[in-house]
Structure formats: structure tokens, C-alpha cells
Amino acid sequence: MNLVLAVAVLVSTAALVALVRLLKKMGDAGRNLPVTADWIDQLSIERYRPMMRLLDGAEMTSLRSQPGFTKQAAQKLREQRCKMFRSCLDSLSTDFGRICGAIRILMVQSKDDRPDLAAALIRQQFLFASGVLAAEVRLVLYRFGWCGVEVTELLKNFELMRLELRSLVPSVMPSGA
């Protein structure tokens, strides 16, 4: 029983530390940004859609049916896919942090108080960081062939915040700025 409790405390502590580090990273990513409509439009969700297929189990199943496809080849493919996925996840986290940073900048510069937006920003940052943490854990499990990784909710959170930022820019930024 004590061993289970010790492991639970250790895992919870590691998850909390990872969550705090991720939130800090996202907070630092939003400094000194060119908050323009063009910049926001470049942060398209389309850039990250391949993440949804990158770790798709259907492709691995298809490859296993091919002659000559070995366990070692499957392991190497999973390892390569994990590296690519982690790179995409890092980019997604950085872009999400930039979006949140830009929203914070606009909130500070705005003449109107938006406590609703501040609360939504904090909530979305927490949800996003929790989703990234869950994806990282599942990515480790995927590497050993135990499960897949779902990023649909992360992409929804990203797009929600990008659209929120996009809606703020015309009302805050003068045209041509």
C-alpha cells in the first residue's frame, strides 16, 4: 500500500511540475509579438492537422500485413513518428503561447476591462497545458505500441484562442497598423 501511495505522489508531483513548466513556457512565448491580422492568419490550424494522422494506428496495421515488415521496423517507425509528433507538439505549444501572450498584451492595452476574457484565457491555458501533458504521456505509451495519441481537443483549444485573438485585433488595432 505504501508503495502505491509513493508512486502516486511521485507521478502527481512530476505531472504538476511538467504542467507548471509548460504554462511558464507558454507565458514566455507571447512577448514582443507583431499582433496583426496577417500574423494571426499565419497561425492556421491547418499547419497542425497532420498531427492527427501521424500516429494513426491504421497505417501501422497496414504495414504489419506487408511481407518483410518486422517488429524492429515497426519500433523504428514508431520512434521516428514520435520525434516528428513531439516537434509538432512543441510548435503547437509555442504558437498557443504566442496567441495567449498576444491576447494578454491586447487586454492590457485595451481601455475596456474584460474579466470574462481573462477568465477564459486562464481556463484555456490550463486545458491546453493539461492536454499537452496527456499527449506526452500517451506518446510514451505509443512508442511501446500500447495506445494512440488524440490531439483533436488540443487543436480545438488552439483554434478557439486564435479566433478569439482574431476577433480582438480589428477592435483594438487601428487599420494599417
Mean pLDDT by runs of 10 across the 177 residues of the chain is 66 63 56 67 88 82 85 90 95 93 90 92 96 94 87 94 88 47
Q: What domain count does the chain have?
A: 1
Instruction: Please report whether residue 9 resides in a domain.
Output: yes
Instruction: Please report whether residue 62 resides in a domain.
Output: yes
User: Nearest 5°: CA angle at 136, between 134 and 141?
Assistant: 95
- pLDDT, residue 43, reads 85
What does the alpha-carbon distance between residue 128 and residue 124 come to, in Å, rounded to a whole number?
Answer: 6
What's at 158, amino acid-wise?
A: F
Instruction: Please report whether residue 177 resides in a domain.
Output: no
Instruction: Please report whether residue 67 resides in a domain.
Output: yes
- pLDDT, residue 177, reads 44
Residue 39, domain extent: 2-172
